[in-house]
Amino acid sequence: MSAPGPLGATPQGATPQGAFEPGGPFERGGALHLGARTALRATAPRATASRTRAGLAGLGGLLLAACVISVSAAHTDLLLPESVRPVPDWLAGPLGGAGVGLSGGGLILVLVLMLGSYVLAVRAADRLSPRTVLITIATLHALMLLAPPLLSTDAFSYQAYARMWALLGTNPYLQGPHVLGPDPLSPFIGAKWVATPTAYGPIFTALSYLLAPLSIAASAFSYKAIAALASLATVALVSGAARLRGLNPVKAAALVGLNPLLVVYGVGGGHNDLWMLAAIAAGLYALLAQRRRTGGALLVIAAGIKLTAGLLLPFALAAGSGLGARDRRRSVLIGAGAGAAGVCALSLAIFGTGPMHLLGTLQKVQGEGDWHSIPGLITTRLGLGTLGHLTSIGLAAIFAGVLAWLLRRVWRGEMDWIDGAGWATVALLITASSTLPWYVAWLLPLAALGTDRRLWRTAIVMTCVIQGIQLLGYLPHRG
């Protein structure tokens, strides 16, 4: 098999991963053993048909679960943000009048169906029609657009920060939405964010000003629509990048676009993480297509939407050992520098020095934690604040060590740079003090484009684990 090209692109004519190659385990003396050939011919069609049926069943299960969620969301409190219970008619969406709701047990069954269907569909995606998979992905996104804002108040926080600037001229990096006073939007903002300045990058915050004049409902559904479009763009870019890597584009698209945490929580909640993912996917595509300056700039733009994307740039810079490595790294660095200059200029022009407080805000938010993370579970559920804080410090040190080790391996040419960035993202998700369900989306494009199959499986396992943890909150409990 041909060696990967610079920055991980597979050279023209290289054998795709998983293709049959001469000298493989079934070849003996240059010809297949007659008995093995006969057995393969007899069993291969049945195995293929079985996988195809399993994949189609998975797609059907995903669509069924998404339909149930979309129709019942307006009357299922567990699917609604706490500040939107009960949901007003003007925010319920076009299916709000259906009058159908789910109990806690019913919702658990639907989400388990969706999760199991996702695993089936992804495992068999290479046996499915690309058209069928892509239509399913688009339909899932459309169904989430019909529901009210789901499971998070973030879309209302986005609007609050925009209104602070538009109505009061208040810098959202310096104060929280409480400065709006008795604004009609105030009751919809999550309690955690009322007095917290924005934790998002200057590009996203500046773009959100465009939606400030909209009504509460129009703004919330606009964020959902933009998230859906960004997610679909990510799927398209990842599929194209998979072709450049010599990987199966349908499997790559399925891993990302069918993921229930991305679809229900990310698109359903209108999260800006999907804006960031679209920019990341564009940067990955550009780098794999040898447009290194463009790729470097796009990764910085992604970080300007949400700082999490900054994790990828060191790996892109470390990639490409061997002949020409210095020139490749210089090109990526030039692009990143140009992107950083543009982001800084925009930030200073609109927000002044306000974004300099962003790291402090993020540290405060992470310090508060949430029960989905290891330190947050210790602090909020077990009531052991000191132990939770010490655990957070220890996990941060572990993450720093893992990050340095991965970067060293990539720099020395011992690991593919996308694989390295993927494993670093896994480490970040495990060690973070605040881990929310839609954060799994950060890993998906990297896992889809990785050459390490363990990274692919890890993305599916983490989806199952984090969804399982979320389901625990839907179980009846005392207190």
Here the tokens at position 413 are 């040419």
pLDDT of residue 35: 55
Q: pTM score, two decimals? A: 0.89
What confidence score (pLDDT) does residue 9 get? 53
Write down the domain spans for the chain. Answer: 49-356+369-472
pLDDT along the chain (479 residues), means of 10: 48 39 36 50 70 95 98 96 93 92 95 97 95 98 97 96 92 95 92 93 96 96 98 98 97 98 97 98 97 97 97 94 83 97 96 94 77 70 73 90 97 95 97 89 98 96 94 69
Given this model, what pLDDT does residue 353 score? 94
Q: To which H or E segment does residue 31 belong?
A: strand 31-32
Identify the pLDDT of residue 119: 97
183: left (phi over 0), alpha (psi -120 to 50) or beta: beta
CA–CA separation, 272 and 162 (whole Å): 14
How far is residue 260's CA from residue 111's CA, in Å, rounded to a whole number? 8
- Buried b or exposed e, range 125-140, using 16+ CB within 10 angstroms: bbbbeeeebbebbeeb
Residue 90's identity, in one-letter code, is: W
- The per-residue pLDDT for 366 is 75
The pLDDT score that the predictor gives to residue 375 is: 72
Q: Residue 40's pLDDT is what?
A: 44
Contact status, residue 222 vs residue 176, Cβ threshold 8 Å = no
Phi-psi region of 170 (alpha: psi -120 to 50; beta: other; left: phi over 0): beta
The token pair at 100 is: 């159908």
